Amino acid sequence: MSAPDEPTVADLSEDELLARIFPHLPRGSRTLVPPGDDAAVVRAPDGRVVVSTDVLVEGRHFRRDWSGGEDVGRRAAAQNLADVAAMGAVPTALVVALVAPGDLAASWVSGLARGLGAACAPLDVGVVGGDLSGGPAVVVAVTVHGDLGGRAPVLRSGARPGDVVAHAGVQGRSAAGLALLLAGRGDADPGLVEAYLRPDPPLLAGPVAADAGATAMLDVSDGLLRDAGRIARASGVVLDLDEPSSAFAGDLERLADAAGLLGADPREWVLTGGEDHGLLATFPPGTVLPAPFRAVGRVLPVGSGAAGVLVEGREPDARTTGWDHFAT
Amino acid sequence: MSAPDEPTVADLSEDELLARIFPHLPRGSRTLVPPGDDAAVVRAPDGRVVVSTDVLVEGRHFRRDWSGGEDVGRRAAAQNLADVAAMGAVPTALVVALVAPGDLAASWVSGLARGLGAACAPLDVGVVGGDLSGGPAVVVAVTVHGDLGGRAPVLRSGARPGDVVAHAGVQGRSAAGLALLLAGRGDADPGLVEAYLRPDPPLLAGPVAADAGATAMLDVSDGLLRDAGRIARASGVVLDLDEPSSAFAGDLERLADAAGLLGADPREWVLTGGEDHGLLATFPPGTVLPAPFRAVGRVLPVGSGAAGVLVEGREPDARTTGWDHFAT
């Protein structure tokens, strides 16, 4: 799994491996006790701490022939940081547990640290702790922390009829990048492949949305329809999305060439593609939407049907969206 | 890996699996937003949060033929909670990422949740988040949080010459239990086997030690000599431990039968056995040691040698302790 002249994890002592990791990890200005003791201590000025954990497993969430260590580090950080942003909080610190097979190149591990650092340092997020173990596959478990700065957390359950549905970030690009890789045509659009390997969510938009009065929010990790359905059910409402041709015109245009190449439907990527980690939020009627949010639908009361998602007033068609309306 | 009539992880949907997990998980009175949203929100009244993460991997840290899910849950919780206690903090919440092979019995997973709950509920620690994934081996990654309640965190680096070295908890029992299992003689002393499978650290003693003025502290996870060496090096001092026959007389007595059975040296278990997760701390001279701490040595200045550990003024003998003085 590594070049013959390159050391593997098994070739190094734990201290030698840590010496290749630590230089890449930002401390973060809120970190009071950095790694090296039994635990780290991080400022939580709000008096509440936002916490979320996500795990990436080789062969399930990434392939080592597609994703280098730095890609996985950036992705693990981004998807966790997006969970904090989606609560309306500012991320402050994360910790990482890494399980690595002995034949993993040590450079993959330092790449992972570099990727975590690249995602965290610009936000002043410290990487404040970790644990290393051997094991049969690469597993990266990240736990992220955030501070609400006095804001009320924005839950999934606060959407009310009349609210505007808004989205910040991109949709469908990660799915398109994955489709290109699966077809062996990653060369055709490296930008979309990068969107899959290294999602770049609009993290700062989370607290901005909270300040603007967002009533509900989440990050789109499993697809627009599916995640909109989660807000709808948690809030007991219907989210009626605009046709992607208007609401996501820019994404559709960006996806057109790749869709043409693969004979795919870009509308399906926009509606059902996950892992772009954009933010989907609802705002009270009349709210001047803060950038980069744009309106993509409206919240309706539950009528004769159940809480759920519509597109232009109609149930999404499984034939054209690939979406199972009944799955969660 | 499971009885033929018993469902495996692969037999259940994620929602069905979660339905077997959630009932066992305590919410914790400090939890403001429980699992189910993008992230949880937990009170951090001190304005600082203590954070540590630890990962357990099947085949490395536990064997499924020895440890049931509940054992692994209790152990994962205990070793993480001990890290928070060792900072002088009160644990408040933890999150868990679980990687599970498809053939893992669903009852193993609910057992894991039961074990986490059993360790956390009595301390009012909430299990506030998690993530589930498939993978080739069971991996349990826990991140724990704690609140300092106004105390200064007790680091490893604060021991000063003249301080008393003190210990709370048991030593050597986990190592003895593992030795019995390895010899196929777990039946001979189920109490020691349980000490290995389900360590029960003196978690409340951590904040008590901080209140009593502890100058340095850690939990003994890698053995008394090795972990005492960590305090010594971080503090730039020598920790001179008493002979186990006086300081750990109770532990030696408890281990005598198992040691006789296996032809092992109970003194070695006490000095080098890890994973009991007792607390090793230093206190200023004259401190009335708070229960259950007892004096086990003294802090000396670095003389002609280096910072490190002595036993009754002498370097520990690798022949009799199995301890590599030069390893970290």
The number of domains in chain A is 2
Spatial contact of A40 and B52, defined as CB atoms under 8 Å apart: yes
Give pLDDT tens digits for A276-309.
999 999 999 999 999 999 999 999 999 878 899 9
Neighbouring residues of B118: CB distance < 8 A, sequence distance ≥ 6 = B70, B73, B74
How far is A144 from A49, CA to CA, in rounded Å? 10
In single-letter form, the type of residue at position B180 comes to: L
Shared domain check, A94 and A195: no
Among residues B114, B147, B180, which one ends one of the domains?
B147
Query: Quick one: B271 and B183 in the same domain?
Result: yes
Residues B143 and B168 both lie in one domain:
no
For testing contact with chain A, the best of B48, B53, B157 (most A CBs within 10 A) = B53
Considering the domain architecture, whether residues A142 and A175 belong to the same structural domain is answered as: no
Interchain pair B143, A95: CB under 8 A? yes
The H or E element spanning position B15 is helix B14-21
The CATH number linked to B183 is 3.90.650.10
Amino acid present at B184: G
Residue A143 sits at the chain B interface (C-beta within 8 Å): yes
pLDDT digit string (tens) for chain B, length 328 residues = 445 678 999 999 989 999 999 999 999 999 999 999 999 999 999 999 999 999 999 999 999 999 999 999 999 999 999 999 999 999 999 999 999 999 999 999 999 999 999 999 999 999 999 999 999 999 999 999 999 999 999 999 999 999 999 999 999 999 999 999 999 999 999 999 999 999 999 999 999 999 999 999 999 999 999 999 999 999 999 999 999 999 999 999 999 999 999 999 999 999 999 999 999 999 999 999 999 999 999 999 998 788 999 999 999 876 555 555 444 4
The C-alpha atoms of residue A46 and residue A145 are separated, in whole angstroms, by 12
**Nearest Cα to Cα of residue A207 among A248, A260, A148, A159:** A148
- Whether omega for the bond prior to residue A292 falls within 30 degrees of 0, making it cis, is yes
* Structural domain includes residue A189: yes
Is B16 contained in some domain?
Answer: yes
- Residue in A45, A93, A155 closest to B51 by CB: A93
User: What is the mean pLDDT for each group of 10 consecutive residues in chain A (328 residues)?
Assistant: 76 93 96 96 98 97 96 98 98 98 96 98 97 97 98 98 98 97 97 97 98 98 96 97 95 98 96 96 98 98 90 80 50
Query: CA angle, B288 as apex, B282 and B294 as ends, to 5°?
Result: 60
Q: Indicate whether B157 belongs to any domain.
A: no
Provide the residue count of chain A: 328
Distance CA B202, CA B136 (A): 34
Length reported for chain B:
328
Cβ–Cβ under 8 Å, residues A129 and B54: no
Structural domain includes residue B156: no
Residue B209 to residue B155: CA distance in whole angstroms: 12
Residues A251, A133, single domain; the answer is no
- Whether residues A16 and A105 fall in one domain: yes
Q: What is the DSSP letter of A121?
A: G
The pair of structure tokens assigned to B107 is 């009852």
CB A222 within 8 A of CB A294: no
Beta carbons of B238 and B299 less than 8 angstroms apart: yes
Let me know if residue B244 belongs to a domain: yes
Q: Is residue A326 assigned to a domain? A: no
Asked whether residue A145 is marked as a ligand-binding residue, the answer is: no
CA–CA dist B83, B94 (Å, integer) = 12
Which is nearest to A55 in space by CA: A138, A118, A124, A121?
A138
Can you tell me the distance from the alpha carbon of B255 to that of B193, in angstroms, rounded to the nearest whole number? 12
Q: Which long-range contacts (CB under 8 A, 24 or more apart) does B313-320 make?
A: B313/B240, B316/B225, B316/B271, B320/B265, B320/B267, B320/B268
d(CA A202, CA A205): 6
Give the range of the structural domain holding residue A101, as residue numbers without chain letter.
9-147
SS3 A76: helix
Quote the CA–CA distance of A44 and A35 in Å, as a whole number: 17
Instruction: Count Cβ atoms below 10 Å from residue B47 Cβ, excluding itself.
Output: 13
Whether the bond between A190 and the residue before it is cis, its omega within 30 degrees of 0, is no
Chain A, chain B: beta-carbon pairs less than 8 Å apart: 211
Q: What is the CATH number of the domain that holds B86?
A: 3.30.1330.10
Report the distance separating Cα B273 and Cα B75, nearest Å.
Answer: 16
A253 is in an annotated binding site: no
DSSP 8-state code for residue A229: H
**Single residue among A147, A172, A199 that ends a domain in this structure:** A147
Beta bridge partners of A49: B42
**Are residue A202 and residue A238 in the same domain, yes or no?**
yes
Which residue of B38, B42, B52 to mutate against A (max A Cβ within 10 Å)? B38
Sheet hosting strand A48-57, strand order edge to edge: A126-134, A90-100, A139-147, A48-57, B40-43, B31-33
Instruction: Nearest by CB to A87, from B37, B48, B135: name it.
Output: B37
Question: Starting at the edge strand that comes first in sequence, how are the strands of the sheet with B279-283 ordered?
Answer: B216-219, B279-283, B164-168, B294-300, B238-241, B308-311
Of B139, B143, B157, the CB nearest to A99: B139
Of B96, B112, B147, which one is at a domain's C-terminal end? B147
Tokens of A199: 């999602």
Give the separation between CA A82 and CA B186, rounded to whole angstroms.
47
Distance from C-alpha of B267 to C-alpha of B273, rounded to nearest angstrom:
10
